[in-house]
């Protein structure tokens, strides 16, 4: 006899976001203790973000990755 009832799927844990081991700013190419990051691999340190703030954001809440165009949050929502 064929079993027609679907078997329950095993529960999966949500994927954890992994922090990079080292941050190297894509703008100044220096190792930093912290960088704003995009999943495409772009990283920008706080100093470079402050210098380029006028071109990276228009509302102060999100920034746009110059490499892939993704809109990323600052975490202040």
| Residue bearing the bigger pLDDT, 19 or 62 | 62
What confidence score (pLDDT) does residue 60 get? 84
What are all long-range contacts of 68-75, with beta carbons under 8 Å and residues at least 24 apart? Answer: 68/38, 68/40, 68/42, 70/38, 70/39, 70/40, 72/36, 72/38, 74/36
> What is the pTM (predicted TM-score) of this model?
0.70
What confidence score (pLDDT) does residue 13 get? 66
């Amino acid at each position: 006899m064929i079993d027609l009832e679907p078997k329950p799927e095993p529960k999966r844990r949500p994927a954890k976001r992994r922090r990079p081991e080292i941050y190297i700013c894509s703008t100044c190419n220096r190792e930093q203790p912290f960088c704003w990051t995009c999943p495409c691999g772009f990283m920008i340190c706080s100093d470079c973000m402050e210098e380029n703030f006028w071109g990276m954001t228009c509302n102060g809440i999100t920034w746009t990755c110059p490499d892939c165009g993704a809109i990323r949050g600052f975490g202040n929502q």
